[in-house]
Each structure stands twice: as C-alpha cells, then as structure tokens.
Structure 1
Amino acid sequence: MKFLRLLLLFLLLNFLALGVGVVLMNSGPTSNWYLSLNKAPWTPESWVFGTAWTLIMIFYSVYMTKLSLSFKSINKAIIKLYGLQWFMNVIWNYLFFNQHLEVLALADIVLLWLLVGYFTFNYLRVVKTYTVFIIPYLIWLTIATSLNLYIVLNN
C-alpha cells in the first residue's frame, strides 16, 4: 500500500512537470521559429515526443518510488536531487522553445543528463533491477541532447 501511494505521488509530480513544461514552451514545436530550424536528420516525428515522455515519466515514477522506499527514513539528498531534476526538466522547455536560448537549453539538458546518470549509477546497488526503469530516461535525454546540440551547431 505504501508503494502504491508513493507511486501515485511521483506520477502526479512527474506529470505535473510535463504539464508545466508544455505551458512554458508556449507554441513550441508548432512555432514558425522551431519549424524553420535546421533539425537533425534523426529528429523523431512530433507524436514520438509525447509518447516517449509519457512512458518515461511512468517508468521514472516506479524507479523513484523504489528508491525512496529503499531507505528507513526520508533521504533529504534524494528529495533535493529529485527536485533539481524536476526543475531542470521543466525549465528546458522554457529556455529552448519559449526564449529560443538554444545554448543555455543545451547546458541545462547536459546537466540534466548528468543528474539522471548520477541517479542511474549511484543508486544501482540500492535499487538493483529497478534501475531498468530509469534507463529509458537516460537514453531519451541522450537523444534529446544530440538534437539540441545539432540545432546549436547548425543554425
């Protein structure tokens, strides 16, 4: 029961991040600015982004639930790192799509990738096989970082 309650909390928080990100991106991927960019040849179709993020946030919620329950009491470091991850994920949308600050967005997503990588490898012994639930996040951030970098270098 405790697992389910915490899972629902992380699902709520993670989908809130997606929702806030969508609001902050304004017209984002449909804007003239974005449509006119020279994008990487491996840029997925637009529907892939929503599907990927939905699945990633479900899996990440399972991961964070297991990680949080792996300690006898609330681990303040994990809460702070999770909050930082939440903020960095959300703010990328604002930096990239709303403000067109591609270089600053790139710095943000690289730091986010490092943070998710830290979660992945630092807590591997703690969550063991549950690490599989954070791997899609790390893979998707790798792809997203390459897309952001391509735009920085080719526009």
Structure 2
Amino acid sequence: MISRLILFLLLNFGALALGSLFTGKGVPSEWYMNLAKAPWTPPGWVFGAAWTTIMICFTVYMAYLWPLAENKTLLVGLYVLQLILNISWNPAFFHFQNVLGGLFIISGLTILVGIFLFYYAPQLKIKSLLIVPYFAWLLIATSLNAYILLHN
C-alpha cells in the first residue's frame, strides 16, 4: 500500500506541477485579472489548498482502487487520460487564453472523474468518497470556466 501511495503521490503532484509550468503568470496575470469572473469565484489561495487536498484524496483513492480493479488496462487508460486532461487545462486556458478549449477540457475531465466515481463505487464502496472532492471541485471549476466564456 505504501509503494502505491508514493507512486500515485508522485504522479498526481507531478501532473499538477507540470500543468502549473504551462500556466505562465496564471491567476495574477493581467489577462485573467481583467476577465469578468463568476461571483462565486473563490479567492486565489483557495485553488492551491483545494488542489492539494484533492490530489491527496485522489492518491489514496487510486492506491485503494489499484488492487481491486479487475481490468487494469481500462484503469490505466482512464487514469492516463485524467492526467492528460488535468495537465492540458492550464496551458489551454492560461497560456493560450483559449477559454472555449479550456471548457471542453475541463468538461471532459469532469465527466471522466464522474466515471471513476460511479464505475468503481461497487468495488471501493465507502472509499469512493475519496474522489468526491475532485468531482465537486471540477463541477465548480467547470461552472467558473463556462461563466468566463459566456461573459467575456
């Protein structure tokens, strides 16, 4: 279990770090600061705290799921796709300032994390709650991205 936790910690936080490399100035950038944002947009510091919590929970979720998943090929495929989408949103949204592309990416990621939540719930039972923060945050983030698209 410890080796799986370490592996998924490295992968999950590595993905966050890689995505942040492509963020550029990100939240404090002039482009982002001048966008009309949703009234429910949290303060900037919430994003770092949320993602740290989400990735810790997702790491534990994956460490529990790995030995229980019957189809490892499917699990690896879903997980890798999740990594790609998670990493891709930052450069699409912040670097390329492609709000529509970002919305497609984050919507796909939200659907994918929902698949994790519901497809693997029979195996993980109560431990499936570990992925709920990720899913909930993505629902919020998708709404924030959609608001920016519609109001700018």
TM-score, with length taken from structure 2: 0.98
| Aligned match of 2:123 | 126
Counting matched residue pairs gives: 152
Gaps of 5+ in 1: none
Identify if the C-alpha distance between structure 1 residues 13 and 154 changes in structure 2 by more than 3 Å, giving closer, same or farther.
Answer: same
Deviation track 1:11-46 (CA, whole Å, cap 9, x = no partner) reads: 110000110111011111111000000000000000
Counterpart for residue 151 of structure 1: 148
Q: Which residue of 2 aligns with 1:137?
A: 134
Indicate if the aligned counterparts of 2:107 and 2:142 stay in contact, CA closer than 8 A: yes
Q: Supply the AA of the counterpart residue of 1:37.
A: L
Q: Is the 8 A contact 2:37 2:148 kept in 1?
A: yes
Residue range with higher mean Cα deviation, 142-151 or 22-31? 22-31
Amino acid at match of 2:108: L
User: How many angstroms does 1:5 deviate by?
Assistant: 0.5
Tell me the residue number matched to 1:33.
31
Instruction: Give the distance between the partners of 1:55 and 1:17, measured in 2 at CA.
Output: 14
Residue 102 of structure 1 aligns with an amino acid whose one-letter code is V
Partner AA of 1:126 in structure 2: Q
Aligned-pair distance for 1:60? 0.2
Separation in structure 2 between the aligned mates of residue 108 and residue 21 of structure 1, nearest angstrom: 13
Q: 2:50 aligns with which of 36, 47, 52?
A: 52
Residue 66 of structure 1: aligned partner: 64
Does the CA contact (< 8 Å) of 2:99 and 2:148 recur in 1?
yes
Report the alpha carbon displacement of residue 114 of structure 1 after superposing the two structures with TM: 0.4
Q: Which residue of 1 aligns with 2:93?
A: 96
Q: Percent identity between the aligned chains?
A: 46
Of 77, 82, 87, 1:85 maps to 82
Q: Matched residues in 1 for 2:48 and 2:40: separation?
A: 17
Q: TM-score, normalised by structure 1?
A: 0.96
| Alignment RMSD | 0.9
CA shift at 1:85, angstroms? 0.2
